[in-house]
């Protein structure tokens, strides 16, 4: 896991900004889908596990959360602290997911992080223990469904790009952002693979955020893609019940679940 933490520490200390649509609470509409409403977060105590540069932490604050604990294990915690400075009720903690403080939160969010954690069960159980009675965990991960062709292309590429120094990977990501943008434009008219994602998300990003998204795909040492059955089994083994899933933009999974305890897993 140390390698993955280091990967993202370097990434988030270079890509420190969250801009425009990428930083707006509109992003949560497709992430949450029918699982919860943004209004549900007002007045609640939240944890943002794997907070990176504070993108979602700031969204949760904007939506009226009573408190947000932003948990980040990498050197990017310094960027996180700068980006959330002055936000009332927001505190930062340098820790891993399996070090989530227990019995404190109405909601624990782990958005775009679990797929990079080698021991996902241990992380999920720790985040579950962080919930108060009646609390819920929200997780978003990469999906296999809708990504078969993409994975056939990106997995061999990642075998090379995850070893590149930052400057070369940054240059490559910036270059790839242009053909990806052209592909997103074609998706407006043609039923191409990943059309829903490209139309509903990628095409709405500015160039800086598009480059960041591509860098994020090519950078990590470890990245898992889950199908629905794998996720349901993972949450069951980790001690969760009332597991509900949302297939986000045809290519990833959002999950809301209640922690029943490790004895039920």
Rounded to whole angstroms, how far apart are CA atoms 217 and 207?
Answer: 16
What is the pLDDT at residue 221? 86
Encode pLDDT of 118-163 as tens digits: 999 999 999 999 999 999 999 999 999 999 999 999 999 999 999 9
Predicted confidence (pLDDT) at residue 1 exceeds the cutoff of 60: no
- In this structure, are residues 92 and 70 in contact, taking their beta carbons and an 8 Å threshold? yes
Give CA torsion, residues 234, 153, 209, 162, to 10 deg: 80
- pLDDT tens digit sequence for 160-175: 999 999 999 999 999 9
Contacts of 264 (CB under 8 A, 6+ apart): 239, 241
The pLDDT tens digits of the residues spanning 50-63 come to 999 999 999 999 99
- Return d(Cα 51, Cα 110) in angstroms, integer: 8
Q: How far apart are CA 194 and CA 202, in angstroms?
A: 10
Cβ-contact 20, 206 below 8 angstroms:
yes
Give residue-wise pLDDT tens across range 58-96: 999 999 999 999 999 999 999 999 999 999 999 999 999
Residue-wise pLDDT for 189-230, tens only, equals 999 999 999 999 999 999 999 999 999 999 998 899 999 999
Which of 148, 147, 131 is CA-nearest to residue 139? 131
Q: What is the pTM of this model?
A: 0.95
The Cα–Cα gap between 80 and 17 comes to 10
Q: In this predicted structure, what is the pLDDT of residue 4?
A: 83
Domains of the chain plus CATH, in order, are 2-142+225-264 (3.40.50.150), 148-218 (no CATH)
């Amino acid at each position: 896991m140390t390698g993955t933490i280091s990967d993202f520490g370097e990434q988030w200390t270079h890509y420190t900004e969250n801009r425009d649509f990428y930083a707006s609470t509109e992003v949560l509409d497709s992430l949450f889908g029918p699982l919860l409403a943004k209004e549900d977060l007002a007045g609640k105590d939240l944890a943002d596990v794997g907070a990176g540069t504070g993108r979602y932490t700031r969204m949760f604050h904007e939506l009226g959360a009573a408190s947000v604990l932003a948990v980040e294990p990498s050197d990017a915690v310094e960027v996180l602290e700068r980006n959330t400075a002055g936000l009332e009720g927001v505190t930062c903690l340098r820790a891993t997911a399996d070090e989530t403080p227990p019995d404190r939160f109405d909601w624990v969010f782990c958005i775009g992080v679990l797929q990079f954690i080698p021991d996902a069960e241990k992380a999920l159980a720790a985040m579950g223990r962080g919930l108060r009675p009646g609390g819920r965990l929200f997780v978003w991960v990469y999906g296999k469904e809708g990504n078969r062709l993409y994975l056939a292309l990106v997995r061999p590429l990642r075998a090379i790009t995850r070893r590149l120094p930052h400057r070369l990977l940054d240059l490559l990501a910036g270059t790839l952002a242009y053909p990806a943008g052209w592909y997103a434009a074609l998706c407006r008219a043609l039923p191409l693979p990943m059309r829903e994602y490209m139309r509903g998300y990628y095409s709405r990003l500015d160039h800086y955020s598009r480059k960041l998204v591509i860098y994020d795909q090519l950078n990590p040492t470890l990245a898992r893609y889950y199908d629905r059955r794998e996720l349901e089994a993972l949450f069951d083994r980790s001690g969760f019940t009332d597991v509900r899933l949302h297939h986000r933009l045809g290519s990833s999974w959002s999950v809301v679940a209640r922690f029943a305890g490790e004895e039920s897993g």
